[in-house]
Amino acid sequence: MCGEREWGGAGGERAAGCGEKKPGSPYRVHPKSFWYYVRCALFLRPRAANLELHGKPTRQKGEVQMPIETGSFRSIFGTLPTPVAVITAVDGEGNQRGLTTNTVTALSMEPPMLLVCLDESSTTLPAILDSRFFVVNFLADSGAGISQTFAGKADDKFAGLTQRPAARAGGAPVLADDVVAHAECEVHSTLRAGDHTIVIGTVRDGAVHDRAPLMYHRRQYFRWSPPELAAIGD
């Protein structure tokens, strides 16, 4: 209230509540007082700074920011060479299911876990969610045709392939002759994100083979040659 005394900085005490009151503020502030400069530093400057970023207005509350275009999004990730995998599973009626993907990554060492992102519209995803098991088949360099087959909608994608049922992944197919490695997984958890479901799997078993992996880059398949890449690195 006006008439109360408060510390006014270099000028000693001065009457509080008799100075200018900032609109919307419960405080009356005396220009050039100690507390005036404190309030400026704590409130006025940060608020002003929030209005500009490199000379441009920042996104205001309630403003909708559009996502990147699909073509640009694909181009970004198309610049990154990736291994190619076929995810396999068996549905509740005993039918073998599978699809091609390059969205597989290691997640944890203890316990050993990986994750894979699967399209919500795929027929393989329901089989995985129902059986709770799946196999990640990392294709060898001879598997470009297999990759294309499992990327499509063929009725019998497994025709003519050498396979065996995974002992620790509910009998999901292991493409033994066409992989550099495989991982037998049990579903740990899932998370829906956009038009995909992220499936996190605990790795129960697996194996590696002395073959070169199939790689995918800018919508083309190629063979990864470790000696050549090592020479480039040198």
pLDDT at 69: 87
Query: If we measure between CA atoms, which residue out of 3, 5, 8 comes closest to residue 30?
Result: 8
pLDDT at 59: 60
In this structure, which amino acid lies at residue 47?
R
The CATH code for residues 81-233 is 2.30.110.10
pLDDT at 1: 44
Predicted TM-score (pTM) of this structure: 0.69
Domain positions in the chain are: 4-57, 81-233
d(CA 58, CA 16): 37
d(CA 143, CA 77): 22
226 preceded by a cis bond (ω within 30 of 0)? no
Tens digit of each residue's pLDDT, the chain (234 residues): 444 333 344 444 444 444 445 455 554 545 555 555 555 555 554 444 444 444 455 566 666 787 888 888 888 877 788 999 999 999 999 999 999 999 999 999 999 999 999 999 999 999 999 999 999 999 999 999 999 999 999 989 999 999 999 999 999 999 999 999 999 999 999 999 999 999 999 999 999 999 999 999 888 898 876 665 544 444
